[in-house]
Structure 1
């Protein structure tokens, strides 16, 4: 019986043993992202612009909004400046015309911020904030989160080809 169980587990695809990522689609702004296993919904914005998920002390915020203060580049520059004023040490900072990623540390916290341009002068964002103690568990999720954040089909302001997350 043990040999049968062992053979059965060997033949199962790895994906069958792995927890599933949950899709989140925001119809109001026209974007989607996959939520990692272990993150549970704790709050949905009343206005429909996004959600907050938690996994222990890790927090994932996903939302969108219309650009009001200027073009995409200024939006990212403002966010970068705010993080630096808050004391974040940004060790990763990449930007193109359609996407940007910022990552850094502050005391015992790690931050990863991804923003993409959407249609109609809107942007979609996720911010993943977690303690250093969860780095081994959370860091491997960032690449898939980055790849999964995308505009709705038909939006021509797609983020383009992005490098792998760091």
Structure 2
């Protein structure tokens, strides 16, 4: 009987020791995972929390921490792959969690802000690159150089824009080469030919300047302001005063405002807009308070820009023939750059 009692005591002691070891291994893995979180090594943190789960499979804390670390790692990877929308979704999910580590939630919010700020810079840079190429195509080389210089200055201060460094260098070389070729032509030409060329150049410049003379329209109801080519005709204003259409035989600009009566997010409206487009989208950018969609449908370029506010939305849609890109592309850029949305 005494022998049996001794064996029972030894068995209880072993179970206690094993349980104690399991708890110790669990806590050790959790502590190391949290340390890795502090060092922002989310990959290693996820491994430690996975070890903790192997010790206590139903532990909610270990599971939550593992999911946080895994999502942070995924979000950062997506960011480096320039998949900004998916990356924002990952960080947004972490930031909106009701439980988990507050430090991770704060770090996810920082990543959200970083991406949104950089994405706006990237969108602006891409639009600037379009403008530069358009200016080169119409041989406005000096203006192209001014735009290149402006973008180069931003490249120096914004690391996210380094992507454009090589392409901008090629454009710069292309412009200088074209200017050199023009200079060679001028040198070899006679004085009379030079004078004729200058005169013709002035006439062309006057036509271009005349063609892009702008006036503006301010909407009294929603208080947005848009600049548009003065040669366009203004349509009849709607009875609700939400906007206006400006047009001629080739170019049409429709601008309007509306209230956010459905309490929709910008992501909702962005996705709804994409779902209505049945053709490939050539240009697609989503920022924190606006988005742009541009595509070709039935031979017409459609440029759709939407501005999101808590209470009021603004939108303008520009339509023109695809073969008039060199004419109306710069007009579209000017309107986009100068548009003043409603104050919310």
* TM-score between both structures, scaled by the size of structure 2: 0.38
Distance 2:248 2:329 in 1: 13
Distance 1:129 1:89 in 2: 16
- SS of residue matched to 1:150: coil
Match of 1:67? 260
Specify every segment of 5 or more residues in structure 2 that has no aligned partner in the other structure, as ranges.
1-194
Q: Please give the residue correspondences for 1:1-166 in structure 2 after superposition, counting only pairs within 5 Å.
A: 18=210, 19-69=212-262, 70-83=264-277, 87-118=278-309, 120-152=310-342, 155=343
Q: Deviations over 1:28-67 (max 9, x none)?
A: 1121110123321123121100001112132110101112
Distance 1:130 1:88 in 2: 16
Instruction: Please say if residues 34 and 145 of structure 1, whose CA atoms lie closer than 8 Å, have aligned partners that are also in contact.
Output: yes
Q: 1:137 to 1:64 in 2, by over 3 A?
A: same
Give the number of the structure whose alpha-carbon radius of gyration is greater: 2
- SS of residue matched to 2:276: helix
Specify every segment of 5 or more residues in structure 1 that has no aligned partner in the other structure, as ranges.
158-166
Range with greater deviation from structure 2 (19-28 or 137-146): 19-28
Q: 1:98 to 1:114 in 2, by over 3 A?
A: same
How many pairs are equivalent? 143
More strand by share: 1
Q: Deviations over 1:92-112 (max 9, x none)?
A: 010111111110111311100
Distance 1:111 1:51 in 2: 17
Distance 2:213 2:239 in 1: 27
Q: Deviations over 1:61-85 (max 9, x none)?
A: 01011123312221122112112xx
Q: Aligned-pair RMSD on alpha carbons?
A: 2.8
Distance 2:287 2:337 in 1: 15
Distance 2:267 2:229 in 1: 28
* TM-score between both structures, scaled by the size of structure 1: 0.74
Instruction: Please say if residues 63 and 126 of structure 1, whose CA atoms lie closer than 8 Å, have aligned partners that are also in contact.
Output: yes
